[in-house]
Amino acid sequence: MIFYRHQGSIAIGSRAFLYSSGDLAVIPPGARVTHDRIGDSALVHWLEFLLPGTTGPDVSLPLLTTLDDPEWLEKELLGAMAMVGRTNRMISAVIWATLWRIHQSAAYYREFEELYIAEQHIRDNLHLPVRVAEVAWKAGVSPRTLLRMFRQAHGTSVEEYVTMIKAETARRLLASTDESIKQISAKVGISSYQHFNNLIRGSTGMSPTDYRAHARQAQ
């Protein structure tokens, strides 16, 4: 989560956005991000966090939000940052309150609500071979329609999306659990260590062991 107090541009993956002072960016896990400031000064407040999954309705979060009351968020963030190393409760409260403040309904950013069903089926079955026909059947659409939806929403094929989610899930587990690399590899449906190593290197430039050490050091 990045709160800007200057102007510039941010590229998240292949998409670029202009931001102004008072804007808030929420970066998905594992996304590659670059910044270019406009002007000579740069000031940001940022928090890196991992929130546990909970039950409840699915919601959508914008990558970049222009806040109606940026002073409120800046005050809350500074208060939360002052508590780093002392208690996580205030930090978690600020993060949750901010996310709920900017969230939209699950269908707000989507033309195809069936994508949520397809994506969830993929996430729930990463340990198994993912077949396009099966995902399409689960979402209630044809394989051709499913591919069109993924191309339009993600700019990828279904298979490329599966690989992306496997890498995202593996990175999260490496950073946040003590599970062995073999266990994590099995959870994302990869039996070969070389294949798993290539998956992590392809998205981080590091081996699974090095990525885990780097992520732990940054926490």
Given a cut of 60, whether residue 219 has pLDDT beyond it is no
Given a cut of 70, whether residue 14 has pLDDT beyond it is no
DSSP state of 128: S
Q: In this predicted model, what pLDDT tens digit does every residue of 101-143 receive, in sequence order?
A: 888 877 777 677 788 889 989 999 999 998 999 999 999 999 9
Among the listed ranges 35-44, 45-54, 60-69, which one has the minimum average pLDDT value? 45-54
Distance, C-alpha 34 to centroid of its chain: 15
Tell me how crowded residue 183 is: count the other CB atoms within 10 A of its CB: 11
- The per-residue pLDDT of the chain, averaged, comes to 86
Looking at residue 138, its pLDDT comes to 93
Looking at residue 158, its pLDDT comes to 93
Domain ranges of the chain: 2-105, 114-218
Q: What does the pLDDT average to over 147-157?
A: 88
Looking at residue 132, its pLDDT comes to 93
Q: In this predicted model, what pLDDT tens digit does every residue of 161-209 receive, in sequence order?
A: 999 899 989 988 888 889 999 999 999 999 899 999 999 998 888 899 9
Looking at residue 196, its pLDDT comes to 95
Looking at residue 176, its pLDDT comes to 82
Q: In this predicted model, what pLDDT tens digit does every residue of 72-87 receive, in sequence order?
A: 888 888 887 777 767 7
Relative to beta strand 2-4, strand 44-46 is antiparallel
> In CATH, which of 1.10.10.60, 1.20.58.340, 3.40.50.300, 1.10.3720.10 is domain 114-218?
1.10.10.60
Looking at residue 189, its pLDDT comes to 94
The torsion angles phi and psi of 154, rounded to 5 degrees, stand at -115, -15
Whole-angstrom distance, CA of residue 215 vs CA of residue 30: 11
Sequential DSSP letters for 182-215: HHHHHHTT---HHHHHHHHHHHHSS-HHHHHHHH
